[in-house]
Amino acid sequence: MFAERLSPFPVRVLLMVIPQWRIVAASRRHPGDDPLMIADRGVVIDCCARAAEEGVIPGLRVRAAQLRCPEGVVVPYDSASEEVLFDEVVREIEKSVAPSVHVVRPGVAAVAARGAARFYGDEVAAAERMVNVLTHIGYPHVGVSVADGLFAAEVAATDSSGEGKRDPIFLASGTSRAFLAPYDVSVLARTGRTDGELVRTLRQLGLTTMGAFADLDRQHVVQRFTDAGQRAHDWARGMDVTMLSSRRPQDDDAMEVVFDDPEPSGAQVVAKVRPVVEEFMTRLAETGRVCSQVRILLRATTGFSEHTWRQPWQFSGDDLLARLSRQLNDLPRGTDEFGADEFCQSGVQAVRIVPTIHRAGEAAEGLFGARPTEHLVHVISQLQERLGPEGVLVGEVAGGRMLKDRRRLVPFGTVVENARPVDRPWPGHLDGPAPGIVYSRPLPARLETTDGMPLTTSSDLPTITPGWFHDGTSRRRVIAWAGPWPVHQRWWSTPTVSVERVQLITEDQQAWVLAGSADRWWIEARYDEA
């Protein structure tokens, strides 16, 4: 009742639905092509399309379901895993679509359409952004809609989901009641917003469609139905006044500036954003927090730009605005009547800054220690202003099996998008301390037995001990070795090959990493000292 008093009219929402979320989450835990059946207390509560084709339906005992679909895999219901996986989806929506997300339930989430439409230009552009982001992270079969209220939006989005990419559904303001009218009242239970008991009661009264239910006099509904029935009646009338609530209070930290007219000057954009940033920094200082990373999203007349920036230890207001200025300079530009490059053709329409916040004591490690001095960071930033972002590069560890794949150079203060994650298993990678020198182009090498005969990989190792090592310039005695460790992947040559790796220590106390295939060896890396 309090929400209704605050908002007598439905909130305009942009909503997404990932169909069969339980099955999607289960398939991530149990990858493969086998049909999936989710069971709870010995009863099937959901199943994939293949299992349904075999006659499996929710409510069956597991034993009966297995008789109908013998090849099916029974997955225990795990609500915690579903929530954790969907939390990753929500974080991506917060980062790339809108900073404040209302989670209806795992698999269904919504954002305020008004704010998103204002930032992206209109509701169509905002909905397309939602679809593209979800497709990019691996959810192509998603339903997206824009409507008055959560209920109508979910019904529309559910109908727009399924196999193949579907266009978003848009219900004009004030049309939810007409849209819902032909639907069977079972849609109330289908969306999970009410139970089957209310649906059965409506059918007993001869109310089989949402339109017939909506036509009931409100006073009669209040007298006959409980609060749940009254809420359902509001939904049928297109009067879903449910308020959206962010799942996290810190979502309010996101900054957004939308210009009434496209701003043609990058300096003016920075000047107009500066008060918002300074207020944000003041609020952080008062609460004992710092910002170490920001995602800046720009909407311009010629395109859209987004980039994640990182600052060792913490951003100052000037540092953050400098990153904004750099990103503005990279916007697509138009040309004037004389063919000259001009920024005014790329007028900026909106700026959104989504920060990553930490307590002041949780300083992230940087390039020059756990807490680099502000002076040092300032000097590096000035160098980048003169030399460009690529003028100062720092090393980062990446994921990969081969050593040359596990290192990358990135511009100081930036975050690599779509980088290979370090925490994956990466079968075949070398554990322990990393070598000091990793060759970008492998150097040819030669291994010999103790009596000087060539040593090949698959046929000789590990039964024959390496005796001599040639690095291309000198011949050295091998005093210790370990391996081999096989790696199966595409490496140096176009066909997929099997690579074997060994570690050597030579008589001059140098340690090496070699990789080989068939009768050829390469030097992959060298340790500083054995």
User: Is 91 in contact with 103 (CB distance < 8 Å)?
Assistant: no
* Confidence grade of residue 449 (pLDDT, cut at 50, 70, 90): confident
Query: Could you state, in order of their start, the residue ranges of all structural domains in the chain?
Result: 2-20+81-177, 181-236, 250-379, 437-526
User: 267: exposed, middle or buried (C-beta count within 10 Å: 0-12, 13-18, 19+)?
Assistant: exposed
Q: Please indicate whether residue 429 or residue 230 has the higher confidence score (pLDDT).
A: 230
Residues 139-166 pLDDT 10s: 888 999 999 988 999 999 887 555 545 7
Helix axes 196-204, 227-236, angle to 10 degrees: 70
Rounded mean pLDDT, 27-50: 86
Q: For position 41, what pLDDT does the model report?
A: 86
> DSSP labels for 8-57?
SSPPEEEEEE-TTHHHHHHHHHS-SSS-EEEEETTEEEEE-HHHHHTT--
Cα distances (angstroms) measured from residue 173 to each of 13, 97, 373: 11, 22, 54
pLDDT tens for each residue of 175-200: 999 999 999 888 888 776 777 788 88
2-20+81-177 and 250-379 have identical folds = no
- Most confident option among 340-344, 365-369, 371-375, 424-428: 371-375
User: If you average pLDDT over each of 244-258, 412-426, 472-486, which comes out highest?
Assistant: 472-486
Report in angstroms the alpha-carbon separations of 386 from 310, 383, 416.
19, 5, 22
28-32, 45-49, 216-220: which range is least confident on average? 28-32
Of 28, 25, 39, give the one whose Cα is nearest residue 73.
39
pLDDT value of residue 179: 92
Q: Higher pLDDT residue, 223 or 472?
A: 223
Mean pLDDT of 337-352: 62
Per-residue pLDDT band at 8 (split at 50, 70, 90): low
- The pLDDT of residue 170: 92
Average pLDDT value for the chain? 76
pTM, full prediction = 0.58
- Cα–Cα dist 312/413, whole Å: 7
Cis peptide before 462 (omega within 30 of 0): yes
Mean pLDDT throughout 363-391?
57
User: Which amino acid, one-letter code, is at 262?
Assistant: P
Residue 2's pLDDT band (cuts 50, 70, 90): very low
Reference 348, options 451, 256, 277, 473; nearest CA is 256
Residue 34 has pLDDT above 70, yes or no: yes
pLDDT above 70 for 103: yes
Which residue stretches of 97-148 are H helix? 113-120, 123-136
Highest mean pLDDT among 198-207, 288-297, 390-399: 198-207
CB-CB contact of 399 with 424 (8 Å)? yes
Which DSSP symbol is given to 249? G
In the CATH hierarchy, which top-level class contains the domain 2-20+81-177? alpha beta
CATH number of 250-379: 3.30.1490.100
pLDDT at 384 over 70: no
The pLDDT value recorded for residue 77 is 86
Element (H, E) at 86: helix 79-96
Question: Is the pLDDT assigned to residue 83 strictly greater than 50?
Answer: yes
Pairing relationship of beta strands 36-40 and 43-47 according to DSSP bridges: antiparallel
In this prediction, residue 283 has a pLDDT band, given cuts at 50, 70 and 90, of: confident
pLDDT for res 363? 44
Please tell me the predicted confidence (pLDDT) of residue 268.
86
pLDDT greater than 70 at residue 214: yes
The pLDDT of residue 137 is above 80: yes
The listed range with the strongest mean pLDDT (82-86, 424-428, 454-458) is 82-86
Peptide bond before 484: cis, by omega within 30 degrees of 0?
A: yes
Tell me what pLDDT residue 130 has: 92
From the list 66, 78, 79, 60, the residue with the least C-alpha distance to 34 is 66
Let me know: does 307 contact 379? Beta carbons within 8 Å.
Answer: no
How far apart, in whole angstroms, are the C-alpha atoms of residue 514 and residue 456?
Answer: 12
Tell me the mean pLDDT in the region 281-295: 81
Question: What pLDDT is attached to residue 365?
Answer: 45
Write down the pLDDT at residue 315: 81
**Cβ neighbours for 217, distance < 8 A, ≥ 6 positions apart:** none
Cα–Cα distance, 183 to 515 (Å, whole number): 65
% of residues, the chain, pLDDT over 90: 7
> 182 vs 287, which has greater pLDDT?
182
